[in-house]
Structure 1
Amino acid sequence: MDKTLRDELFQKAKQWVYEAGELIKERMNEPLSIDTKSNANDLVTILDKETEKFFIKKIKANYPEHLVLSEEGFGDKLKSLDGIIWIIDPIDGTMNFVHQKRNFAISLGIYCEGIGEIGIIYDVMGNCLYHAKKGEGAYKNEKQLAPLKEKLVLKESIIGMNHYWLCENRLIDHQDMQQFIRTIRGVRTYGSAALEFAYVAEGILDAYLTMKLSPWDIAAGIVIVQEVGGVTTDIFGQPVNMLTDNPVMVANSVISEQIATVMRKGKK
């Protein structure tokens, strides 16, 4: 993608993200219909659906040849990453949105022929925009994020994880997982994959591990993290597939292989 088009798409995307954020804030305290998807904890609200439709309407009106991959199913059915694809999670962290009215984000990534060109993660209630264009650095609002630490050891690392690793983990042996947690400095969970990617990019988490994420959960974050020297793989250190779900690791590159080694050792 040439720079002129990348700049144009970034400006449009940023404008629409801010507009979508305002729509969410205007309506979030209204009575909302709440449904479940894959299980009782997988929530979706009318605002998730309406926000996704807002983006699709804008994209298709301005760039009818572009494709959309999105969480709530109103986008295109994709079999490849050919062309320009907008990958969108309209409200990442819906459970936080429903229960807390905070700690959720709009996540938007733009890919061209499978390469991440633009990443935007908007913490709606914090009015904080993490963003990056390929090759131009990553930013939190208007401040450029510094490259990630070049000196870091696993035992001093703070890692984003949740309780499912210990109570419902079908990927890694529980004893290996417990030993891993004892090895690191601490564990944190925020309930929004997009924000946890942003926090790795900012350096306030050193890594984030999760058992299952979809492309719209990670598309924007991959671009942002890459611009500060971080890496995104599956938990075993292999490339992620942007058309399917993956067990995902995003990390400071200094410790990513150490974590992947632990995960491979404990693989069931």
Structure 2
Amino acid sequence: MNKAQRDTIFSQAKQWIYEAGAKIREQIHTPLTIDTKSNPNDLVTAMDRSTEAFFAKNIKHTYTDHLILSEEGYGDQLDSMDGIVWIIDPIDGTMNFVHQKRNFAISIGIFNDGVGEIGFIYDVMEDVLYSAKKGEGAFKNNERLPQLNRGVPFHQAMISMNHFWLCENRLVEEKRMQQLVKDVRGTRTYGSAALEFAYVAEGIIDNYLTLSLSPWDYAAGMVIVNEVGGVTTTIDGDNIDMLSKTSVAAGNPVIQEKIITDYIKQARK
């Protein structure tokens, strides 16, 4: 993908995101049709589906050779990342959308032969767009985000992680992760992986840790975090498989290395 092509796709995707966001805001207080997927807490609404359908229709009409990897069933069946692939979560943070009417995002990552070229995370209710193009930096609306501060002392770090890390589970020993919580300045959880990536890129959270995400949860965030000098790996420090559900660690490389080495690897069962 050359620069001219990247710029054209970026502008078109940005327009669609703002259109989709406006429609969501217009209908935010209308009665919701809510279903469940894998479990009673895995929610999906008619708004999730209609928003994804909006993107899929526009992409397929405008870019007939592009592929889509998405959450709600409007994408393609992919066995590789060859070509140009749009990875879409129409509403990341559906439980927040249902219960709070805020703290959710539209997340779109656009990859070319497996390389992240474009990333968008749109906080719909706050009308804040985080975006990035490969090699051109990351932005919050029109403000360029600075490179992450690698000099943050570990005891001053802010970490985003949910409570599953601190409960008994089959992946990590919870007492070691509880020690991590004690050793850093603070922990937060926002209920939207996309927004947590955005806050890492903004530098208001130093690292984000999660035990399981799907590609549409992390694709856009990876592109944006990379543009501010951050890294995204599995919790073991391995490269991410863009077609798989996986654990994810993202953020400040210095803080992340210490978390993985001194806490996660010691907590792995």
TM range (shorter): over 0.9
Equivalent residue number for residue 153 of structure 2: 153
Q: Secondary structure at 1:30's aligned position in 2?
A: coil
Q: Secondary structure at 1:39's aligned position in 2?
A: coil
Q: Secondary structure at 1:130's aligned position in 2?
A: strand
1:13-28 equivalence runs, <5 A: 13-28=13-28
Q: Find the aligned partners of 1:161 and 1:169 in 2 and give their Cα distance.
A: 15
CA displacement, residues 165-185 of structure 1 (integer Å, 9 cap, x when unaligned): 112532110111111111111
CA displacement, residues 178-226 of structure 1 (integer Å, 9 cap, x when unaligned): 1111111110011100000000000000000011000000110000000
Q: Find the aligned partners of 2:27 and 2:255 in 1 and give their Cα distance.
A: 42
Q: Find the aligned partners of 1:150 and 1:232 in 2 and give their Cα distance.
A: 15
User: Do 2:157 and 2:185's aligned partners in 1 also have CA atoms closer than 8 Å?
Assistant: yes
Find out whether 1:67 has 2:49 as its counterpart: no
Equivalent residue letter for 2:229 = G
Find out whether 1:103 has 2:74 as its counterpart: no
1:38-53 equivalence runs, <5 A: 38-53=38-53
Q: Find the aligned partners of 1:185 and 1:29 in 2 and give their Cα distance.
A: 37
Equivalent residue number for residue 267 of structure 1: 268
1:210-229 equivalence runs, <5 A: 210-229=210-229
Q: Find the aligned partners of 1:170 and 1:126 in 2 and give their Cα distance.
A: 37
Equivalent residue number for residue 58 of structure 2: 58
- Report the number of matched residues: 268
Equivalent residue number for residue 30 of structure 2: 30
Q: After alignment, is 108-117 or 29-38 more displaced?
A: 29-38
Q: Secondary structure at 1:131's aligned position in 2?
A: strand
Q: Give the C-alpha shift of residue 26 in structure 1.
A: 1.4
Q: Secondary structure at 1:69's aligned position in 2?
A: strand
Equivalent residue number for residue 130 of structure 1: 130
User: Do 2:168 and 2:174's aligned partners in 1 also have CA atoms closer than 8 Å?
Assistant: no
Equivalent residue letter for 2:266 = K
Q: Secondary structure at 1:35's aligned position in 2?
A: strand
Structure 1: gaps of 5 or more residues: none
- What is the percentage of aligned positions where both structures have the same residue? 62
Equivalent residue number for residue 5 of structure 1: 5
The alignment's C-alpha RMSD in Å is 0.8
TM-score normalised over the length of structure 1: 0.98
Structure 2: gaps of 5 or more residues: none
Find out whether 1:84 has 2:84 as its counterpart: yes
Q: Secondary structure at 2:26's aligned position in 1?
A: helix
CA displacement, residues 91-112 of structure 1 (integer Å, 9 cap, x when unaligned): 0000000000000000001000
Equivalent residue letter for 1:28 = I
CA displacement, residues 34-53 of structure 1 (integer Å, 9 cap, x when unaligned): 01111111100000000000
TM-score normalised over the length of structure 2: 0.98
Equivalent residue letter for 1:213 = L
